[in-house]
Amino acid sequence: SQTIHQWPATLVQPVGSPLSLECTVEGTSNPNLYWYRQAAGRGLQLLFYSVGIGQISSEVPQNLSASRPQDRQFILSSKKLLLSDSGFYLCAWSVGRDTEAFFGQGTRLTVV
């Protein structure tokens, strides 16, 4: 069966520090991978999605970047965090063209 792992579950980082959140998927090949952010009391905002290794689409201009070094690994990074980067970050995957997305458990990031 397919599973998605996302870590860490919670993170407190000072302003200006770097960030690396990792997401891996097991049990499937060539998944579509996504990073979403959920600000407090808000809906989900798509940040990045990837349809293959090294292929990253950015949805909104921001302080973050994403990379996909392996087929089932998706990394969200920042060189210098801002206070506004605080939120709940969710990784998700899907396969094919018309299927639902499956979500990880999320990382709650607090920038202080």
Partner 1 sequence: GEDVEQSLFLSVREGDSSVINCTYTDSSSTYLYWYKQEPGAGLQLLTYIFSNMDMKQDQRLTVLLNKKDKHLSLRIADTQTGDSAIYFCAELKNTGRRALTFGSGTRLQVQP
Which among 12-20, 60-68, 71-79, 93-101 is the span making contact with partner 1, rule CB under 8 A?
Answer: 93-101
Task: Work out whether 98 is an interface residue with partner 1 (CB under 8 A).
Answer: yes
Those residues with Cβ within 8 angstroms of residue 48's Cβ, 6 or more apart along the chain or in another chain: 34, 35, 56, 57, 58, 59, 64, 66, 76
Task: Work out whether 12 is an interface residue with partner 1 (CB under 8 A).
Answer: no
Q: What does the alpha-carbon distance between residue 29 and residue 74 come to, in Å, rounded to a whole number?
A: 13
Task: Work out whether 61 is an interface residue with partner 1 (CB under 8 A).
Answer: no
In angstroms, give the least distance from the CB of 58 to partner 1.
Answer: 12
Measured at the CA of 69, the angle between CA 63 and CA 70, to 5 degrees, comes to 135
Pairing outcome for strands 10-13 and 107-111: parallel
Task: Work out whether 86 is an interface residue with partner 1 (CB under 8 A).
Answer: no
Nearer to partner 1, 67 or 95 (CB): 95
Those residues with Cβ within 8 angstroms of residue 1's Cβ, 6 or more apart along the chain or in another chain: 27
Residues that bind partner 1 (CB under 8 A): 6, 32, 34, 36, 42-44, 46, 49, 51, 57, 59, 90, 92, 94, 97-98, 100-106, 108
